[in-house]
Homo-oligomer: A and B are copies of this chain.
Amino acid sequence: MSVATTSSPLERLKAILGEIADLRHAEAILDWDSRVSMPPAGAQARAEASATLTRLAHEQFVSDEVGELLDELSSVEEEKDAALIRVTRREWDRSRRVPTELAGEMSHANGVAVAAWDEAKASSDFASFIPHLERQLELKHRYIECFPETETAYDVLLEDYEEEMTTDQVVDVFDRVKQELVPLIERHRQRPVDGTLLRGPFPVSGQREAGRRVLQAFGYEDATWRIDETPHPFASKPGVGDIRLTTHTDENDLTSLFSTMHEFGHGVYEFDIDDGFSRTPLGRGTSSAIHESQSRTWENLVGRSPGFWHWFYPQLQEIFPEQLAGVAEGSFVAAINAVQPGLIRGDADEVTYGLHIILRFELERELLAGTVAVRDLPEVWNTRMKEYLGVDVPDDAHGVLQDMHWSVGMFGYFPTYQLGNVISVQIWERVRADLGDLQEQFARGEFSSLREWLREQIYRHGSTYPPRELLRRVTGSDLDPEPYLEYLRAKFA
């Protein structure tokens, strides 16, 4: 690449990082397109194009030149520049550890295994997925070996998604959470809820209208955002001024509305990052758990709150008069907050969700340690689902095959979902301390003071602060499950 050599080291570094950001912009669009718009027959050519972009960005980033510039810039003092050097240095050190050959094998394995997972899930055929999962585990072991100084293997994987988080810390938090959740769920199981109220059908066009109204009240604008349908919803920010949400609408339930609010949380975090960080590694959310804390904030702390529904329920009744005219606001709010152990993580309520994650966190470590063999996974999964949630798994499509993550090698990611729940309530306590009870504002359809507070405290900083430091700056404390558990007790006990 030709970057003018007359400029300062910082300018040179930023120019290289800008080009890498441009390649990642293109990768993000190729990924979004393959999940939203690409005709299926285009998959093979797309896999090749994506792999080339990934490799070019990787090669460019791990170059000696970047390392030399980082060395030259190791003592910059201006706060934002220092943050840029810190984040870039950390990524460069980690990326350099991984041989290009291994990176290529991982990228290729992901493409192959996600297609195999898709087919295996469709026919609930775990056996066909076994070799792909075994291959992913083998690659994970080789990846972990690139970081020999890390004592606990799983720490290497966690570090990719959550800087400075250790397996021990997660174990401590999850043990504490599990201890409270199990009896809480047991109590709810003894008082089953009438779920027929939310079975619809709720025509898709009405759900989209409902989603649009909520997003507009939250601050979605057509000039900068879009929302599309996809089987497995996600949010993406290819570049400044371009925030893409996706949702999955099924007329048998209202899940799309909560999924839309969830992805809004991811989108608004990215949207509100200072534009000055664009085309640098600071221009994105600081970690998976902090990101997830924000999607959970907008989905649950806002989107399942009584104030929100006091504002929105009359509108939803207007959209679905036949289905909801006879349902009182209180019954509806109770129904969308019902605690009901189920098979699917993505559909789980706020209480049972944690156990879905804890199960996956346990299994990931057991698979890596070899104490559970891939072929035995369905049996272990089903046994533990019965033990933790009391449900019988009818087939692997509704069991061990339900999530895409392992097929694309995302081991170490699941815990950040539950950490996000924990963190969301820690932050929410600060929100309430600063802004008071927001339910009255929500009941008027007003969300801007919340959004502004989150922007000021969290979003605008991008990756300037590592996640633990950000949490301390915002809440004054380290990771702590107690506010979350107190929230659950108050709402669900």
Contacts and interface: CB of A to CB of B under 8 A. Distances in A.
A242 B38 contact: yes
Interface in A169-200: none
Nearest to A100: B2
Nearest to A38: B242
Nearest to A26: B26
Contacts of A38: 242
A247 B241 CA distance: 26
Interface stretch (A44-52, A293-301, A310-318): A44-52
A83 interface: no
Given A1-B56, A222-B39, A225-B39, A241 B29 contact: no
A45 B28 CA distance: 13
A40 B279 contact: no
A242 B226 CA distance: 23
Contacts of A53: 22-23, 26
A30 interface: yes
A109 interface: no
A491 B38 CA distance: 41
Contacts of A238: 42, 45-46, 49
A226 B39 contact: yes
Contacts of A150: none
Nearest to A42: B242
A22 B41 contact: no
A37 interface: yes
A18 interface: yes
Given A19-B52, A33-B29, A48-B18, A42 B2 contact: no
A239 B49 contact: yes
A390 to B, nearest CB: 42
A56 B56 contact: yes
A54 to B, nearest CB: 10
Contacts of A225: 39
Interface string A264-290: 000000000000001100000000000
Interface string A30-74: 100100011111111110110111001001000000000000000
A279 B48 contact: yes
A241 B42 contact: yes
A37 B39 contact: no
A39 B432 CA distance: 34
A26 B37 contact: no
Given A37-B37, A223-B40, A242 B22 contact: no
A48 B22 contact: yes
A240 interface: yes
B29 A52 contact: no
A343 interface: no
Interface string A230-269: 0000000011111100000000000000000000000000
A25 interface: yes
Nearest to A46: B239
A449 interface: no
B2 A41 contact: no
A241 B1 contact: no
A29 B27 CA distance: 10
A448 interface: no
Given A30-B26, A45-B25, A49-B25, A39 B239 contact: no
Contacts of A23: 49, 52-53
A43 B241 CA distance: 8
Contacts of A18: 48, 52
14 contacts: A18-B52, A19-B56, A25-B46, A29-B30, A37-B226, A38-B242, A39-B243, A40-B223, A40-B241, A41-B224, A42-B224, A42-B239, A45-B279, A46-B239
Given A1-B56, A33-B33, 16 more contacts: A2-B59, A18-B48, A22-B48, A22-B49, A22-B52, A22-B53, A39-B222, A39-B226, A39-B242, A41-B224, A43-B241, A45-B239, A45-B241, A46-B238, A48-B279, A56-B56
Interface of A: 1-2, 18-19, 22-23, 25-26, 29-30, 33, 37-46, 48-49, 51-53, 56, 59, 100, 222-226, 238-243, 278-279
